[in-house]
Copies of this chain bind each other. A is one copy, B any other.
């Protein structure tokens, strides 16, 4: 093994986590309505398949963007030769306009501050290479995306220190949690260089409140550190409540911060077209930063993961069509809201409640009451049952570094309605047969009334829980 580097020889890539293992199980036995109706249903993949009909319809009407035609002439050779790591100007312009649209056009973004990368995976790693030396720390609120261990730590040598968030306040970031994480890093002799948040949050499906953003700005200001906001789910905010989403780029343009040059340069966002547009296969991500030094260094690093010019051209056409994009954004929102509602009510029927969410392609479901004990071992045991017996691939909270056992991320936008219904039936059957009880939760009585299984006997605990169990639900 000494022949290879430590990176290649050890397991620090984090891909042995149950998050990735669940995918492997799914791949061995994938559900198919006709050919494999007893296979595993994939609910571990945050993919948006709800609006392909709209994209396909646009592409049919605009074939030139497929065929590398511009004004009737082929630009194939120009695109084939294009390797300027600054990106196609018309693509970057359309991209920032789209980003503004997702942020309610409350902030004007500048294409010269955008660095294109081969997906958000690359964008996040690049930002860490720019901000942190090996052994320096990134603070991240828990629970967080399992891939961050690979994306932020593996090759950069940076360290992740969790900001511990709990269900006690709906997993919101608090000042005390920030201070605790900062002090933990200090005790471990890590210099803290940045906080990284996901907004909208993955896996929670929630957005940062304005208070949380103010807290974060004040904290990075006092500690002289950076804030990275991974906003790849910005286009999945489905709530119709006004102002339910504030991007950090919008927040720093508000009056309290707009003249604070330090903060302006220390807040960076990561974005991609993989989640809202459902185009992960096209590998389009980006960094947006107000610090010219970060933009310059990240641009040089983008040589390691440039976006195909063929793909840049195709998407420049799509994103520039402002009328179409308005319709797309609206339709996508409506469809996500409906689908999320199906999942939430399906789980409720099985006695499982979700953290209230307004965004994302998944829900954060509390199955603490189904655990044999309030431990992560019990969570893994339950997870294995759900994967191997119920045949649903969902992601256990432990894979997301959650501090409380019993939470699971369940995705809803990569399935048809029929398959989602099938999945809900399976979980309902599992809960009712395995636990010999009807799913019922005293806190959710009002929801329960609307449920067709109301006539079934009351919930009976088969398992013992410690005192805190009820708080978790």
Contact = CB atoms under 8 A, between A and B. Distances in A.
Given A5-B132, A8-B293, A308 B310 contact: yes
Given A3-B266, A49-B81, A77-B52, A13 B283 contact: no
B4 A294 contact: yes
Copies in the complex: 2
Main SS of chain A's interface residues?
Answer: helix
Interface stretch (A123-131, A178-186, A327-335, A430-438): A123-131
Greatest chain B CB density within 10 A among A66, A79, A265, A303 is at A303
Interface string A1-16: 1011111110001010
Contacts of A298: 8
Interface stretch (A237-245, A249-257, A274-282, A348-356): A274-282
Interface string A49-81: 100100110010001001110000010110111
Interface string A132-145: 11101000000000
Contacts of A136: 5
Most buried by B among A55, A83, A121, A193: A83
A279 B303 CA distance: 15
Interface in A298-324: 298, 300-301, 303-311, 314
Given A304-B118, A306-B283, A8 B130 contact: yes
Contacts of A13: 297, 300
A226 interface: yes
A155 interface: yes
A9 to B, nearest CB: 8
A8 B67 contact: no
A12 to B, nearest CB: 11
A150 interface: yes
Nearest to A53: B77
A162 interface: no
Contacts of A7: 129-130, 133, 297
A41 B61 CA distance: 40
Contact of A224 (B3, B63, B132, B300): B3
A79 B129 contact: no
Contact of A82 (B281, B293, B294, B304): B281
A146 interface: no
A135 to B, nearest CB: 11
B81 A133 contact: no
Contacts of A74: 56
A404 interface: no
Given A8-B130, A81-B47, A310 B311 contact: yes
Nearest to A119: B306
A183 to B, nearest CB: 21
A308 B282 contact: yes
Given A56-B74, A67-B67, A306-B119, A8 B297 contact: yes
A236 interface: no
A332 to B, nearest CB: 14
Interface in A415-432: none
A149 to B, nearest CB: 12
Interface in A18-67: 47, 49, 52, 55-56, 59, 63, 66-67
Given A4-B294, A132-B5, A310 B304 contact: no
A297 B134 CA distance: 20
B297 A283 contact: no
B305 A307 contact: no
Contact of A305 (B8, B122, B131, B265): B122
Interface string A277-297: 011111100000000011001
Contact of A68 (B66, B151, B305): B66
A93 to B, nearest CB: 18
A303 to B, nearest CB: 5
B281 A309 contact: yes
Given A81-B281, A283-B307, 14 more contacts: A3-B226, A3-B265, A5-B130, A5-B131, A5-B132, A7-B130, A8-B129, A8-B294, A13-B297, A47-B81, A66-B66, A122-B303, A281-B309, A311-B311
8 contacts: A8-B129, A52-B80, A80-B278, A81-B280, A83-B280, A129-B155, A150-B300, A155-B301
